[in-house]
Amino acid sequence: MSGINLQGLDADGNEKGYSLSNFKGQRVILYFYPKDNTSGCTQEACDFRDNINRLTNYATVIGVSPDNIKSHKSFKEKQSLNFILLSDIEYKLAEKFEVWKEKSMYGRKYMGIERSTFILDKNGKIEKEWRKVKVKCHVDEVIEYLNAI
């Protein structure tokens, strides 16, 4: 998985290319969310933001959605997010992690991101995963797992 390249937003708001190989030698918390600036996604991002000091002792946090760089930049600034957001417009990473799924709302079927979190080990392999994540208390679950390893 370490060879996948994506557009991303760096801490200075500049477009930059990222690859998971950039993080070799460190754990990564890679979380997928459906859309910037929606209530659940904002809450999840703010939970990661508010707990960043408890998380970065163990891993680098990266959020991924199919939103574009402009949307990520606005979301990051509006919510004062202190971690990387990657733009997966073509769903390459979402497909690799099997989180690009058929969903259903009000009887209408569509494709979308299944809210999921993965902890990648220092070699980029999946160490732990949470699928169909419920936002409430999810970051606490991640921290609890990291404290136990």
* C-alpha to C-alpha distance for 77 and 49, rounded to whole angstroms: 12
Exactly one of 41, 62, 113, 139 is catalytic; name it.
41
Query: At CA 25, angle to CA 20 and CA 30, rounded to 5?
Result: 40
| DSSP code at position 20 | G
Is the distance from CB of 115 to CB of 133 less than 8 angstroms? yes
Q: Please indicate whether residue 41 is annotated as part of the active site.
A: yes
Residues designated catalytic: 41
